[in-house]
A and B are shown apart, each in its own frame.
Chain A
Amino acid sequence: MSWAQAADAIAGACFLVGAFLALIAAIGILRLPDLLSRMHAATKPQVLGLWLVLIGLGFRLREPGAIGILVLVALFQLLTTPVANHMMGRASIRAGQVREELLVVNDLDRVASDHQEPRGAP
């Protein structure tokens, strides 16, 4: 069991778990009732699944040169996905597409209704 085979085994395991998490995210986004709940399904398992796939790729390639790009992709994905989906959730609330019966507490009632956001900040 040389180091290369061990690294390949780890990479294979990471790929499987990562792909499975992507599947969970896809099923979550298909079945959940409301955009706000779909938003959670689309971000958390997706980012974790992508991280595992990138870690698996790092183990598989075993190239120090490639580690930099992989870390950068993982970091960008971790930073950008929550921000993008938060903005989309906020835009859906502002556009009035929220199904009130699904919400337990609507914290945004006091903020969104009367507060006029400056231009360009959703």
Chain B
Amino acid sequence: MTVVLLVCAVILTVAAVCTVARMTKGPTLLDRAVALDMLVAIAICALALEAALNRHIHTLPVLLVLTLLGFVGSVGVARFTHGSDDIDAERP
């Protein structure tokens, strides 16, 4: 079981590195927000793997909080991107 979780950890690390690469390279702010949302999901997977390795349920509520945190972060960025919809605020 430990070997399987180790392989999964390596795969998730590679996925996280790709996501951080997109976050640094992402031309627009929204690319970075999408990559950030994915990084949160990868963090949730990593936490689940850790909970599976040590067989405890202490960190399960953290998964729930992280899910909502990622969502609120993305929605916040989408809402307040320049020119996204606040028509009156941008009128010169």
Binding site for B on A (CB under 8 A): 8, 11-12, 15-16, 18-20, 22-23, 25-27, 29-30, 35, 38-39, 42, 46-47, 49-50, 53-54, 56-57, 60-61, 63, 65-66, 69-70, 72-73, 76-77, 80-81, 83-85, 87-88, 90-92, 94-97, 116-117, 119-122
Contact = CB atoms under 8 A, between A and B. Distances in A.
A60 B55 contact: yes
Interface of B: 1, 4-5, 7-8, 11-12, 14-19, 21-22, 28, 30-31, 33-35, 37-38, 41-42, 44-45, 48-49, 51-52, 55, 57, 60-61, 63-64, 67-68, 70-71, 74-75, 77-79, 81-88
Contact of B75 (A38, A56, A87): A87
Contact of B79 (A8, A16, A72, A91): A91
A17 to B, nearest CB: 10
Contacts of A83: 71, 75
Contacts of B68: 76, 80
Nearest to B14: A23
Contacts of B77: 88, 91
A65 B48 CA distance: 16
B78 A91 contact: yes
